[in-house]
Structure 1
Amino acid sequence: MENDEFSEALGIAPDAKIGAHHRHKTSFRGISTRQRLRILTASAVDQDFLDEICELKGLEQLTLEWPVTAASLAGLSALPGLRTLRIDSPRNVTDFTPITRISRLTRLDIENAKHLTELRWIRPLKDRLFALGIDGSINTTQKIESIDPLDGFAFEELTLTNVSVADKDLSPLINCRNLKKLRCAKSVSTFEGFMTLADARPDMACDWFSPEHWPGRKWRR
């Protein structure tokens, strides 16, 4: 009977490998029994919900959709097989370092993180990430001090959507030798910054490398 109640509340079958759940009060209770889950999308994630999610040792892909009210990400390091993590609007998280202890993580996307203004914490992932996204939301610009901590990262894809970088310096990306796709806001740098990166890395694709996006500006090589 208890399992039937869990099934009805969770909307996730006991043997499901893919699941989604939007929390309403304590409707998430019992999700830790879904040990066959490999892909999970969860929304309205408070701390108790996240702590129970972190008991799903087989998870490979986890999406925490808006709103995320949990304050601690510490439990994520207990997910040994997690490869892809997306967190949308973690309004109460001030410490992102537990993410660096997810040993098999290769894709990370953090959107609209109120307390994420610097990237030094992410350095331990330098040689592990294939793709990284640090993004703002439709209505909120993500403000970052500098992308200097990303110097030499091994990723192939970097997304900085609706992001403003205080120092406007893209030069650290010159040393990201595997980086092929840069998707970002125009506000990340200046015309000169984008053109300098384009000259240094002709193998990299970015919309802002095209002078047609900069009316009235001409790059002198």
Structure 2
Amino acid sequence: MAFKSAHDPHLASALNERFRGHAERDFTIWAEQHAYATAGDIPADATKAWIGRQKLNYRGIGARQALRHLISGNVDQAFLEEIGALANLERLELEWPMVAKDLSPLLRLEKLTFLTIDSPRHIADFDLLLRLPALRTLIITDAKKMASLDWLAEAHHLEVIGIEGSMYSPYTLPSLKPLAGLRSLQALLGVSTKLADDSLTALAACPDLVFLGIARVAPQADFERLQRLKPDLVCDWFRPEMWATLKPPR
């Protein structure tokens, strides 16, 4: 992938939107056209739906086999079991909070290419998600029980990885070393994060990496080192003006 200017601030914003899939998920449009109070309200031929769990309002959603893109919040285990029956689902966004304790129902979603999970408070082991054959984008937010990124060391099929904290609870990444050499990785997303070892060097070994949308997790010198190693990589922290009025990270 080639860019006219890797250090254009507008490019970083555009890539962030693209890799997060925001262009296909305008909430104003979704609220007007795809939001439903109950699963029974979803037309049988609907390809998109947005429904948050309220009591048992999700019951029957597993029969909506035309769905390709689902946004759901407050998903518990019973709701997740129904979601697992949506054999044609390609994109799934599990919004805050995700209270289910077992992710295994998702393994039935063999066409799923895009998955986001916000605040999976009961989940510590995410390895099984890598068994989803079509998955290319995986973004996990505020996973308080995730100990490290070691489980991603063989995720060579993923094109977008997001491991992020929340506004009031930054997630500390022990190290980026498990990501070194991931063959398909195009974007790493990590807002509201810290980095325990202050080293970005492992990312230089990701051949297809084009966008780094991460917090100020390392000293300026380390961002500069990565920029020298990957001059076409797009990252806001490669621009000197971003550092002009900032104190060094703790």
- Per the TM superposition, whether the score is higher than 0.5 is yes
**Aligned counterpart, 1:142:** 171
**Aligned counterpart, 1:55:** 85
| Shift of residue 16, structure 1, vs aligned partner | 1.0
How far apart, in 2, do the equivalents of 1:216 and 1:52 lie? Answer: 50
**Aligned counterpart, 1:79:** 109
Equivalent residues, number: 209
Q: Counterpart amino acid of 2:38?
A: A
**Aligned counterpart, 2:52:** 22
- Residue 179 of structure 1, aligned match among 209, 230, 244: 209
| Shift of residue 132, structure 1, vs aligned partner | 1.3
How far apart, in 2, do the equivalents of 1:14 and 1:85 lie? Answer: 23
Q: Counterpart amino acid of 1:132?
A: I
**Aligned counterpart, 1:95:** 125
How far apart, in 2, do the equivalents of 1:132 and 1:8 lie? Answer: 31
**Aligned counterpart, 1:151:** 180
How far apart, in 1, do the equivalents of 2:51 and 2:237 lie? Answer: 38
| Shift of residue 51, structure 1, vs aligned partner | 1.2
Matched, 1:213 2:238: no
**Aligned counterpart, 1:133:** 162
Deviations 1:3-31 (A, max 9, x none): xxxx9732311221111111111111111
Q: Is the 8 A contact 1:182 1:204 kept in 2?
A: yes
* TM-score normalised by L of structure 1: 0.90
Deviations 1:162-211 (A, max 9, x none): 1111111111100111111101101x211121111011110111111122
Structure-2 change in CA distance of 1:210 and 1:47 (3 Å): same
| Shift of residue 140, structure 1, vs aligned partner | 1.4
**Aligned counterpart, 1:124:** 154
* TM-score normalised by L of structure 2: 0.80
How far apart, in 1, do the equivalents of 2:202 and 2:48 lie? Answer: 38
Q: Counterpart amino acid of 2:159?
A: F
| Shift of residue 216, structure 1, vs aligned partner | 8.2
| Shift of residue 151, structure 1, vs aligned partner | 0.3
| Shift of residue 82, structure 1, vs aligned partner | 0.2
Q: Is the 8 A contact 1:123 1:150 kept in 2?
A: yes
Matched, 1:67 2:84: no
Ranges in structure 1 where 5+ consecutive residues have no aligned partner? 1-6
Give me the identity figure in percent: 38
Q: Is the 8 A contact 1:76 1:98 kept in 2?
A: no
Q: Is the 8 A contact 2:124 2:147 kept in 1?
A: no
Question: Residue 125 of structure 1 aligns to a residue in which SS?
Answer: coil
Q: Is the 8 A contact 1:151 1:173 kept in 2?
A: yes
